[in-house]
Amino acid sequence: MKRGTLFIISAPSGTGKGTVVSRILADDPTIHFSVSATTRAPREGETDGVNYYFIDRPAFEKLMEGGGMLEYAEFCGNLYGTPRGPVFDRLCEGRDVILEIETVGAMKVKAACPEAVGIFILPPSLKELRRRLEKRGTDSEEVIARRVAEAKSEIEKSVNYDFVVVNDDLEAAVSEVKAVMKAAKSMTKLNSDTIEGVLSKC
Ligand code: 5GP
C-alpha cells in the first residue's frame, strides 16, 4: 500500500487557516487531522480530543521526554505538540495527514521527515490582516499590533515551505490548497517506490 502524505499547514493568526483546513477535512473524510496536545486553556466551544488534547505542563513534559512528540514548540507562553504515534499509524494505513502547526514546529517536522509537504497560507497583505483582526473585535489595539508584528516574522519564514497560497477569497483559497495537495502527491520525492515499481516490471 502506498504511504499517505504528510502535510504541514501554517499561517499567521487571522489568516483563516482554521476555516480552510475545516473545509478540506469536510470535503475529504479520508484525510486525518492530527490533534495536537497543548497546555493552553480551552476556548469557548473547543472540545478535548477534538480541537486539542488539553493537558497540563507536567503531563506535556512527560510526553515530550518519553519521545511521544513528533515536534513541539512554545507559542505565546503555551506548549503545543504533535503526538507522534497517530501520525505514523495513519500514514502507514495510506491516509494523508494534516498538521496545523506554527513555523518552529513545522521546521522540526521538515528536518525529521523531509518528505513532508509544507503549505503556508498568506493573508493578502499585512494591512488586510490588521483589518480582519480589528473586525474580529476580540483584541485590544496593543494585542493587534503584537499579532501583526508576529505575523510579519512568520510570513518571512514562508520561504521554507514548498507552497504558498494567498487567502484573499475563501473559496479560491480552499480550491488552491486542494490543488496543491493533489499535485504534491505526484512529486518525485514522494514517488521513488512508484518509479522503482515501474522499472522492476519488464
Ligand atoms: P491557537 O492557540 O490559536 O489554537 O494556536 C496557536 C498556534 O499554535 C497556531 O499557529 C497553531 O497552528 C499552532 N499549533 C497548534 N498545534 C500545534 C502543534 O502541535 N505544534 C506546533 N508547533 N504548533 C501548533
Query: Which of 100, 110, 143 for a ligand 1 pocket mutation test, highest count of atoms within 8 Å of Cβ?
Result: 100
Atom 22 (ligand 1) nearest CA? 105
Q: How far is the CA of 186 from the centre of ligand 1 (A)?
A: 28
Q: Is the domain of 195 the same as that of 175?
A: yes
Region at 72 (left for phi over 0; alpha for psi -120 to 50; beta for the rest): beta
Q: What is the pLDDT of residue 138?
A: 78
Q: Which atom of ligand 1 is found nearest the CA of 17?
A: 12
Q: How many residues does the chain have?
A: 202
Which domain covers residue 59, as residue numbers? 35-95
91 shares its domain with 145: no
pLDDT at 49: 96
201 Cα to the center of ligand 1, angstroms: 45
Clarify whether residues 46 and 128 are in a common domain.
Answer: no
Q: Which residues line ligand 1 (CB under 6 A)?
A: 13, 36, 40, 71, 73, 75, 80-82, 100-102, 104-105
pLDDT value at position 96? 98
Digitized pLDDT (tens) for each residue of the chain, 202 residues in all:
889 999 999 999 889 999 999 999 999 999 999 999 999 999 889 999 999 999 999 999 999 999 999 999 999 889 999 999 999 999 999 999 999 999 999 999 999 999 999 999 999 999 999 998 898 887 889 988 988 999 999 999 999 999 999 999 999 999 999 999 999 999 999 999 999 999 998 8
pTM attached to this predicted model: 0.95
Indicate which CATH number applies to the domain containing 89.
3.30.63.10
CA of 11 to the centre of ligand 1 (A): 10
Domain co-membership, 78 together with 102: no
In this structure, the answer to whether residues 107 and 72 fall within a common structural domain is: no
Shortest-distance atom of ligand 1 to CA 104:
22
38 bridge partner residues: 54, 80
SS (H, E, C) the chain: CCCCCEEEEECCCCCCHHHHHHHHHHHCCCCEECCEEECCCCCCCCCECCCEEECCHHHHHHHHHCCCEEEEEEECCEEEEEEHHHHHHHHHCCCCEEEECCHHHHHHHHHHCCCCEEEEEECCCHHHHHHHHHHHCCCCHHHHHHHHHHHHHHHHHHHHCCEEEECCCHHHHHHHHHHHHHHHCCCHHHCHHHHHHHHHCC
Number of domains the chain contains: 2
In a shared domain, residues 44 and 13: no
Domain check: are 78 and 165 in the same one?
Answer: no
Cα-to-centroid distance, 114 and ligand 1 (Å) = 20
Q: What is the CATH number of the domain that holds 199?
A: 3.40.50.300
Sign of CA dihedral 36, 39, 40, 45: positive
Q: Which residues pair with 7 in a beta bridge?
A: 98, 117
Q: What are the phi and psi torsion angles at 5 (to 5°)?
A: -105, 140
Are 41 and 124 within one domain? no
Residues 5 and 104 in one domain: yes
Same domain, 27 and 113: yes
Q: Radius of gyration over alpha carbons of the chain, in Å? A: 18
Ligand 1 atom closest to Cα of residue 40: 2
CA 27 to chain centre: 17
- Given 72, 95, 118, the domain boundary residue is 95
